[in-house]
Amino acid sequence: SRFETCWPALMNDSHGVIIIFNPELPSHLKEIEMWYSCFVQQQSLLDSQCLLVAHHKPGSAGDTENLSLAYPLNKLKLIHSNLEEDPEDVRMEFMKYFRSIITFINESREREEMSILS
């Protein structure tokens, strides 16, 4: 990808990764493995710090709701977004995800402070 030179800057000190893809494109299913490898595994982020979003375009087939991803992607939290039908549901899932990241950051910071003090 022509943006690969920017990746180190994007990854620097990142606490979470959201990967949005079109579940109807087989090429996307291959690409999310690469994104996961680069942005999550190589950053030593936990799977709980990653959110997969299968985005359904208006009028799309919709039978991809039963999407089954292969290991290791099947360990990640996966939400389906369809902004025509259920935008509120997607918003709630994003809020839950952001809250979990904030909790994670706060806990990490507390652990660091405790290790400095002890």
pLDDT in tens, 39-83: 999 988 999 999 999 998 877 765 556 788 889 999 999 999 887
Q: Which of 6-10, 36-40, 59-63 has the lowest mean pLDDT?
A: 59-63
Strand partners, 80: 54
Higher-confidence residue: 107 or 118? 107
For residue 54, the model assigns a pLDDT of 93
Over range 8-12, report the average pLDDT.
81
Measured CA distances, 6 to 9, 11, 12, 39, 40 (Å): 6, 9, 10, 12, 16
Structure tokens at 90: 């997607």
Give per-residue pLDDT as tens, 106-116.
Answer: 999 999 999 99
Q: Which residues of 5-30 are buried (b: 16+ CB within 10 A; e: fewer)?
A: eeeeeeeeeeebbebebebbeeebbe
Report the Cα 97 to chain-centroid distance in Å.
9
How many Å apart are CA 57 and CA 27, to the nearest integer? 16
Tokens of 91: 């918003």
Q: Whole-prediction pTM value?
A: 0.83
Q: Report the amino acid identity of residue 31.
A: E
Share of the chain above pLDDT 70, in %: 93
